[in-house]
Amino acid sequence: MGYGAASTKVFVGQLATEEDLKRDWVMTHEMVHLAFPSVAEQHHWIEEGLATYVEPIARVEAGDLEPQSIWHDLVEGLPKGLPQAGDNGLDYTHTWGRTYWGGALFCTLADTRYISARTITAACRTRCGRSSPAAVISKSVGRLNAR
Ligand SMILES: [Zn+2]
């Protein structure tokens, strides 16, 4: 956006209440983007998939969302990320479903089966110089809520 570093600009309606902001997922999703490096357009699915996957986890950790909602949202959303006929893989199929939910499906599998959470956390520490994105974001969301 051009402020000399990664940034996010979010417009909030004048009539938005504190409760509206507490229920909203957009700022948390955008903050996940700040914790992950930008990648080439072809790999955009990992940016959106990670943000889609981590956002509800961070909100649960911040106390803004019930834990069961994570599973509810994954059960509803992940099928939208499955490959359809003619799919050429996440790098070459730039539909909304494959980008957001296909990427989230990748992250879910990586987090739960193929890559240990310790590996992801170590990678994040190397990249970000701090703890996991979910921990960083939930701490930040907590700070915003305290205002
Ligand atoms: Zn996004």
19 CA to middle of ligand 1, Å? 22
26 CA to middle of ligand 1, Å? 8
Number of domains into which the chain is organized: 1
Is residue 133 in some structural domain? yes
Residue 2 pLDDT: 56
Is residue 126 in some structural domain? yes
70 CA to middle of ligand 1, Å? 17
Q: What is the extent of the structural domain holding 82? A: 18-146
15 CA to middle of ligand 1, Å? 24
**Span 19-31, pLDDT tens digits:** 998 889 999 999 9
Is residue 110 in some structural domain? yes
Residue 137 pLDDT: 47
Residue 67's identity, in one-letter code, is P
**Span 81-130, pLDDT tens digits:** 999 999 999 999 999 999 999 999 999 988 877 655 555 555 555 544 54
